[in-house]
Structures are given as structure tokens and as C-alpha cells.
């Protein structure tokens, strides 16, 4: 089962984020854009793991005692993937709480034998993959309004295809205190 750990949004926040996504899509020649229901902030991508490992992950994450907190979105940006392809995202301000949550999750999951590349955590909300922009500069002309988002639970997500469509399903969540 392809799995990741995420923070999810309420529909009001998703609507605002999706508005930006639609603007990006309009100024793009091509790309694979996130569906409304799939919008999220990834804490940690686990990849393909067995159902038994998912249960271990669930048990370990329940050991985390973490308080609810707010985090804030920023402007649009992209990671280059190949010559003309981009991963376009809505940035998220780095914060002590997000970094700490990432570190706690990583530490706990190493205890069950999962290992992750030691990368710096760059919080972002993916809007589209393999995006070919008409102009990189146009992307930065889209005005975004910083959103304050409450993190109130950690979600264990499954990435699957249903009727050919990429679908993210919340399999379990751990409420933050």
C-alpha cells in the first residue's frame, strides 16, 4: 500500500488553495494537477509498505503527544523536474512546530524499521506535477493571500487509483491534543 503522513484541510481552506491551482492550470501548457479532495500537506512520504507495517505505523504515531498548532501558507513556487517540467506548489512558512512534528514522526517511524533519506523538510502543498508553464514569471504574478491553518490531527493516507483516478484515502488519524 502506497502510504504517506499528512495534515489535511477543511473545505474552506481547500477552496482557497484550489482557486490558486485553477489559476496555475490556466497559465500552463500541460500538467497533472491535484484534485480538490487530494489537497494536503505531506509530513512524510512512506512509499509502498505492507498492511502489517501500516498497523505498526499507526501504533507508533499514537505514541506522539503533540499539541494543536497553526501554520501559514505563503506564495507560489516550483521545483524543477527536467528541462521544462515543474512541480508547482503553494509554499508553507517554515515553523518550529512543523519541523518538530516532522522530526517526531521520522524518529518514531525509524523505531519500526522504516528509514528515510536525510533531507531537509520543505513544507509545501503540491498543486501540480509535470507542469509546463507558459512562463515561469507568470506564476509569480498570481497574488496569494496567506492562510492560517490549524493542524489538529496527523493522518495516515493511502494513495491509490480508483477508476483510473489518483485518490488519497485517510486510513487513520491521530488527534493532536
Confidence of residue 85 (pLDDT cuts 50, 70, 90): confident
* Domain membership of residue 168 as a residue range: 2-175
For the chain, helix (H) and strand (E) counts, in that order, are 4, 9
**Angstrom distance (rounded) from CA 115 to CA 20:** 34
Domain count, the chain: 1
Position 116 confidence tier, pLDDT thresholds 50, 70, 90: confident
Position 119 confidence tier, pLDDT thresholds 50, 70, 90: confident
Helices 51-61 and 96-110 cross at an angle (nearest 10°) of 130
User: Quick one: average pLDDT of 107-134?
Assistant: 91
pLDDT in tens, 36-57: 999 999 999 999 999 999 999 9
Torsion of CA 122, 138, 130, 37, to 10 degrees: 70
Can you give the pLDDT at residue 44?
96
SS percent in the chain: helix, strand, coil, step 5: 30, 40, 30
Residue 16, number of CB atoms within 10 A of its CB:
16
Average per-residue pLDDT in the chain? 95
What percent of the chain shows pLDDT beyond 70?
100
pLDDT at 159: 97
pTM for this predicted structure: 0.94
CATH of the domain at 53: 3.90.1140.10
Amino acid at each position: 500500500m502506497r502510504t504517506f503522513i499528512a495534515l489535511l484541510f477543511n473545505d474552506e481552506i481547500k477552496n482557497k488553495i484550489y482557486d490558486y491551482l485553477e489559476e496555475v492550470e490556466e497559465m500552463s501548457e500541460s500538467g497533472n494537477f491535484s484534485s480538490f479532495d487530494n489537497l494536503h500537506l505531506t509530513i512524510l512520504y512512506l512509499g509502498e509498505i505492507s498492511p502489517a507495517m501500516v498497523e505498526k505505523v499507526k501504533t507508533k504515531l499514537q505514541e506522539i503527544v503533540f499539541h494543536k498548532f497553526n501554520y501559514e501558507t505563503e506564495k507560489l513556487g516550483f521545483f524543477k523536474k527536467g528541462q521544462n517540467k515543474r512541480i508547482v506548489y503553494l509554499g508553507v512558512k517554515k515553523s518550529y512546530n512543523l519541523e518538530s512534528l516532522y522530526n517526531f514522526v521520522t524518529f518514531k517511524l525509524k523505531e519500526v524499521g522504516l528509514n528515510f533519506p536525510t533531507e531537509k523538510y520543505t513544507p509545501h502543498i503540491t498543486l501540480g506535477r509535470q507542469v509546463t508553464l507558459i512562463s515561469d514569471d507568470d506564476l509569480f504574478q498570481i497574488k496569494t493571500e496567506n492562510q492560517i491553518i490549524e493542524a489538529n490531527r496527523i493522518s495516515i493516507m493511502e494513495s491509490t487509483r480508483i477508476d483510473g483516478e489518483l485518490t488519497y484515502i485517510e486510513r487513520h488519524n491521530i488527534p493532536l491534543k
